[in-house]
A and B are shown apart, each in its own frame.
Chain A
Amino acid sequence: MSIEKPSSPTEIGVTDDGLDYDALAELLGGHVLDRESHVNAEGFVIRPDEVQEVLSTLKTEAGFDHCACVTAQEYDDRYESIYHLRKYDDPTQELSIVVPSPKDDPHNQSAARVYDTADWHEREAYDLVGIDYDDHPDLRRILLPDTWQGHPLSQDYDQSQPQIVTLRENANPLQEDRRSEDDPDTMFVNIGPHHPATHGVLHVKTVLDGEQVADIDPDIGYLHRCEEQMCEHGTYRHQIMPYPDRWDYSGAGIINEWAYARAAEDLVGIDVPEYAQVIRTMSAELCRITGHMLALGTFALDVFGDFTAVFQYAFRDREVVQSILEDLTGQRLMFNYLRLGGVAWDLPEPREEFFEKTRDFLDDLPYKLEEYHDLITGNEIFQMRCVDTGILTPEQAKAHGATGPVARASGVDYDLRRDDPYGYYDELDWNVVTESGCDNFSRVLVRMREVEESARIIEQCVDLLEQWPEDDREIQANVPRTLRPDPDKEIYRAVEGAKGELGIYIRSDGTDKPARFKIRSPCFSNLQTLPELAQGEYIPDMVASLGSLDIILGEVDR
């Protein structure tokens, strides 16, 4: 089948049936103080001052080149940072590195020197939980304002205390025109947080040398609406599910819901009926098309600078998909359609009409895509703007934890739908799209080709659903009314979101609400690559690069 992956050279601990954790523990020797068992992988407990040594050993010798996520949390007796490591070649090979640090003075060594992506993750952990990372290149708040008092996800945080926010970054940049002593020609420019090219409320602090970008620092947190806290306050069964829709709000809501559903279902051991899996797969791919259409339309808006042709065409096609999804879920954007153990309801009656509507859309799609190719990828001006600008090498992509279309456009063949199969994907015939251009053009091209692949998946799902015997249409597994996973069960599970690896870490404490709910957002990691893409480039290319990363601020800031 086309979705099988070429086998990689064997590394330490790799066996035919999964990872041999004993071999990995042997590699690390005395560094491993204790071993924990998480649902997705084993966790090695290490000393807080040996983080860099352990992680670089694992990276160079055991092949763990993907630091997917850093979770920080506070226990009654200690703080803890968990580094979720995986491999780009095979993401089912996972390992958690658990770093406890003392309650009274929480600090441990930073991993940012080993994995570039840990930089922002640790800043977030410092900001929200309050762990200090020694030897971190730039440890300051990332999501909350600089003047914030306290760390909101720590146990002793008083949410009612008053807070003060300054307007410091909005000071008139022209007053501080000459930023640096040794280079008097540079100029500091704020781009955002309210700017048409930043796709929401991103603030990009740029230093320009003439028309070229000398330094760039994305400043996020303008849409940090406490998603993790909200999920920790909700019960597993129903109260959490509405929130995922609001992470990546480009229309890809069902994929986000699936991320939560997958993590929670694996945590408590729920099997989803096959029929529901097919519906999930189909609706998730419809969502992916919606998300990619938005990316395409806004990218064209960034590059051509008009509100007309391509942008409006993309929205015309989104409307069609949104209408199909509305028939299915009852909502245009915030679907809230998946349930733990299944989906909310079956396909709408009359089913023939729904299938016909979906098929009509799929039949029209090739012509529409051809039109897009005429307008966009075949356009000479567009090519001049996008080919060979915003270069992201595969090594840089991996170091920054980039996933999804951003990584695949740099030739990193990584797609969780195939590599860590879930749903019905492994039963269907489709391809993972990669490009090797590494530039803005490739990123757009990957999205456009992924729309084709999504259409293939939807078509197969529609065929399956059409032939499904009527007495076997089970949409929901038997799930207890109140879910109480065993205490101290931990899981990290990811799905392939529209933007990349969307992972959820849940730790249960025996109650019906998660004790820690951590969201690994693909956009958060992808945005970290912006300095690599934009430094030294012209400022319009920076805007194009930002557009090609396709960030959704709701997911970056959470």
Chain B
Amino acid sequence: MSSDQTPPAVNDVSTQEARMGEGTDDRFNSTLREAFGSTPFILTKFDQFMNWVRGSSMFMLQFGIACCSIEMISTYAIKHDLDRFGAGIPRASPRQADVIVIPGTIVSKFAPRMKRVYDQMPEPKFVISMGSCTISGGPFQEGYNVVKGAEEIIPVDIHVPGCPPRPEALVYGVAKLQERIANGESSPVTVKPYELEQFGDLNQDELVQHLADEIDEDELVMRYNWEDSP
């Protein structure tokens, strides 16, 4: 702060304004200052600071499934430009990403693969489910092959409804997620157990009996009990 400013004496002027003075360069009035107050010192918990940083720099995973991925690309691309919100260009490898957007219908064959991709992402990781299919199976809920929502497999932080959601809706979902992360909320309570089961842990129901000869016992499997699905 330069010394040739008028002294900050008036009561209805905030400390920040007083310190800024008149005619000062705007660039001191940064987002950082807004977030952490007017003092030139930042006194905060390290966790809080990390959460704020994390929310402002999200590495998305390049992960397309179905129709919603087209709108997801539109969100990344020109015009909507998700990069503006600190949630930039998608990363091709799950090991470099911390947010996965699930854009589309999950079917039985794909579910174990998606689970594996999710498992490969480093902690802390966040999940945005995009579109009705990832909420409930959407228009394909009645299908013999369709998993009724992403939460059958992995925990989800934010649901963005729509078929498909408009890019604006996805941007809103991402912004909401950032807000939550910045406020220190991490992954939600998992709705259903989602661990892959060892084959040996499965109940000896009729089907398992039937398949026992064909499946290697060490192999990971995913079991669908369509009856129990919502």
CA distance A534 to B107 in the complex (A): 28
Q: Is A162 within 8 A of B227, CB to CB? A: yes
Q: Which residue of B lies closest to A312 (CB)?
A: B78
A289-347 at interface with B (beta carbon < 8 Å): 294, 307, 311-313, 315-316, 318-319, 322, 332-334
Within the complex, which residue of A162, A223, A233, A318 is in contact with B226, where a contact is CB–CB below 8 Å? A162
A315 cross-chain contacts in B, Cβ below 8 A: 73-74, 77-79
CA distance A242 to B163 in the complex (A): 11
Binds B, one of A165-173, A394-402, A476-484: A165-173
**B177 CB to closest chain A CB, in angstroms?**
21
Interface string of B128-163 (1 = CB under 8 A from A): 000001000001101111100000000000000001
A87 contacts B by Cβ under 8 Å: no
A91 contacts B by Cβ under 8 Å: no
B104 contacts A by Cβ under 8 Å: yes
Within the complex, which residue of A157, A161, A170, A199 is in contact with B116, where a contact is CB–CB below 8 Å? A170
Interface residues on A, range: 35 or more
Within the complex, which residue of B76, B78, B109, B227 is in contact with A222, where a contact is CB–CB below 8 Å? B109
B184 contacts A by Cβ under 8 Å: no
Q: Which residue of A lies closest to B81 (CB)?
A: A312
A283 cross-chain contacts in B, Cβ below 8 A: none
Given contacts A164-B215, A554-B67, contact A144 B143 (CB under 8 A): no
A148-162 at interface with B (beta carbon < 8 Å): 148-149, 152, 157, 159-162
CA distance A333 to B142 in the complex (A): 23
Q: Is B208 within 8 A of A164, CB to CB? A: yes
Given contacts A225-B146, A230-B140, contact A163 B223 (CB under 8 A): yes
A199 cross-chain contacts in B, Cβ below 8 A: 64
A221 cross-chain contacts in B, Cβ below 8 A: 107, 109
Within the complex, which residue of A147, A162, A225, A318 is in contact with B107, where a contact is CB–CB below 8 Å? A225
B215 cross-chain contacts in A, Cβ below 8 A: 147, 164, 166
Q: Is A162 within 8 A of B207, CB to CB? A: yes
**B180 CB to closest chain A CB, in angstroms?**
26
A152 cross-chain contacts in B, Cβ below 8 A: 144-145
CA distance A107 to B147 in the complex (A): 31
CA distance A290 to B6 in the complex (A): 61
B213-230 at interface with A (beta carbon < 8 Å): 214-215, 219-227
Q: Is A246 within 8 A of B109, CB to CB? A: no
Within the complex, which residue of B70, B74, B113, B221 is in contact with A249, where a contact is CB–CB below 8 Å? B70
Q: Is B108 within 8 A of A229, CB to CB? A: no
CA distance A332 to B168 in the complex (A): 12
A106 contacts B by Cβ under 8 Å: no
Q: Which residue of A lies closest to B196 (CB)?
A: A167
B164-187 at interface with A (beta carbon < 8 Å): 164, 166
Q: Is A149 within 8 A of B145, CB to CB? A: no
CA distance A159 to B113 in the complex (A): 23
Q: Is A164 within 8 A of B207, CB to CB? A: yes
A251 contacts B by Cβ under 8 Å: yes
B38 contacts A by Cβ under 8 Å: no
B20 contacts A by Cβ under 8 Å: no
CA distance A545 to B23 in the complex (A): 61
Q: Is B70 within 8 A of A250, CB to CB? A: yes
Given contacts A166-B219, A167-B221, contact A319 B78 (CB under 8 A): yes
B191-216 at interface with A (beta carbon < 8 Å): 196, 202, 205, 207-208, 210-211, 214-215
Q: Is B220 within 8 A of A332, CB to CB? A: no
Q: Is A230 within 8 A of B65, CB to CB? A: no
Given contacts A147-B215, A196-B62, contact A163 B226 (CB under 8 A): yes
A373 contacts B by Cβ under 8 Å: no
Q: Is A163 within 8 A of B207, CB to CB? A: yes
Q: Which residue of B lies closest to A249 (CB)?
A: B67
Q: Which residue of A lies closest to B140 (CB)?
A: A225
A13 contacts B by Cβ under 8 Å: no
B51 contacts A by Cβ under 8 Å: no
Known: A161-B226, A163-B207, A222-B109. 17 other contacts (CB 8 A): A147-B211, A147-B214, A159-B226, A162-B224, A162-B227, A164-B211, A165-B223, A166-B112, A166-B219, A166-B222, A167-B219, A223-B104, A245-B67, A246-B66, A315-B73, A333-B67, A333-B164
**5 A–B contacts from the bound complex (CB under 8 Å):** A222-B110, A226-B145, A230-B140, A316-B79, A318-B74
Residues in chain B within 8 A of chain A (CB atoms): 62-67, 69-71, 73-74, 76-79, 89-90, 92, 94, 104-105, 107-114, 116-117, 133, 139-140, 142-146, 163-164, 166, 196, 202, 205, 207-208, 210-211, 214-215, 219-227
